[in-house]
Amino acid sequence: MRIVVLTGAGISAESGVPTFRDADGLWEGHLVEDVATPEGFERDPDLVHAFYDARRRAAASVQPNAAHRALARLEGAVGEDLLVVTQNVDDLHERAGTGNLVHMHGELRRALCTSCGARPVWEDDLATRPPCPACGERMLRPDVVWFGEMPYELDRIEQAVAACEVFVSIGTSGAVYPAAGYVALASALGAHTVELNLEPSDAVVPFDDARSGRASELVPAWVDEILEARERRRVSGC
Ligand code: BV8
């Protein structure tokens, strides 16, 4: 059974990573257009570097939670039948053990060289304008997809969403496209759709199964259900 899981900031909230739109969220302290657009970076690169350098340091200091670990456990059981598509730029899915993973909005742990296009793994601050490891130019920016920029691996994601039998949305407000549209694509093509979220999001189409609660409780419980059903099918031979 092919499963696509889309995750948002809510899956990392209990690890201590602020979400965007909850109270005291990331957008609270900043105007999106100032810190998450190419125009904002053009206007004030120091502000944008400070915003992402602080988030990179914070993300390195927290740990994956039970929700991230449950998805890694599911991948351990079903392998290639699971693809995790995350809107998050932290590396908590990787650190929990997930391998089949797409960071559609980029990663804090990568830089993007605006001179040569290299995308080196990057753990340190960028505000000091370090040289690009590939070309030496001091033109590195966070490798994060800003508003108005093309997300990564859209073809691969859309193919997986169109082909999946189960589509699960975890910890996302469904406010940003094209990610927010995937539930409609999956549903239109016959997938069973599930939402695991603190409260129901304003999804573009209703989920078949919408569960409210914290990801660290809902996700392990849902993974247990999937694995138990899979074991029953194996034992009964159907
Ligand atoms: C693009 C990286 C061209 C940066 C981010 C229609 C089609 C295509 C594009 C558009 C369109 N309409 C408008 C657009 C343009 C725009 C857009 O969507 N604007 C919105 C505001 C209307 N989209 C773009 O610009 C995208 N690019 O369109 O390219 C194109 C054209 C056609 C087709 C393809 C491409 C690029 C957008 C990427 C922006 N970058 N992030 C960074 O991280 O700094 S966006 C950022 O916000 C996230 O990545 C995520 O995508 C988005 C939403 O955040 P969430 O993860 O959902 O977090 P949020 O705080 O909102 O919600 C948290 C949720 O968790 C809540 O529901 C809460 O209840 C829940 N929760 C909280 N705690 C818990 C919990 N759940 C469970 N347990 C808990 N403990």
113 in the same domain as 26: yes
pLDDT in the model for residue 22: 73
Give residue 108 CA to ligand 1 midpoint distance, Å: 16
Residue 20 CA, closest ligand 1 atom number:
60
Give residue 136 CA to ligand 1 midpoint distance, Å: 33
Give residue 228 CA to ligand 1 midpoint distance, Å: 33
- Which structural domain range is residue 30 located in? 18-61+106-144
Catalytic status, residue 105: yes
Residue to mutate (ligand 1; options 176, 198, 219; most atoms within 8 A of CB): 176
88 in the same domain as 138: no
pLDDT in the model for residue 85: 98
Give residue 171 CA to ligand 1 midpoint distance, Å: 11
Q: How many domains are contained in the chain?
A: 2
Tens-binned pLDDT, residue by residue, of the chain (238 aa): 899 999 999 999 999 998 887 767 776 678 889 999 999 999 999 999 999 999 999 999 999 999 999 999 999 999 999 999 999 999 999 999 999 999 999 999 999 999 999 999 999 999 999 999 999 999 999 999 999 999 999 999 999 999 999 999 999 999 999 999 999 999 999 999 999 999 999 888 999 999 999 999 999 999 999 999 999 999 998 6
56 in the same domain as 163: no
47 in the same domain as 162: no
pLDDT in the model for residue 28: 63
140 in the same domain as 28: yes
| Residues at CB less than 6 angstroms from ligand 1 | 8-10, 13-14, 19-22, 25, 36, 87, 89, 105, 144-151, 154, 171-173, 175-179, 197-199, 201, 214-215
179 in the same domain as 72: yes
47 in the same domain as 30: yes
Can you give the CATH number for the domain in which 196 is found? 3.40.50.1220
DSSP structure string for the chain: --EEEEE-GGGTGGGT---SSSTT-HHHHS-HHHHSSHHHHHH-HHHHHHHHHHHHHHHHTS---HHHHHHHHHHHHHGGGEEEEE---SSHHHHHT--SEEETTEEEEEEEETTT----B--S-STT-PPPTTT--S-EEEEEPPTTSPPS-HHHHHHHHHH-SEEEEES--S-STTGGGHHHHHHHTT-EEEEEESS----SS--SEEEES-HHHHHHHHHHHHHHHHHHHHHHT-
pLDDT in the model for residue 86: 98
pLDDT in the model for residue 59: 95
237 in the same domain as 179: yes
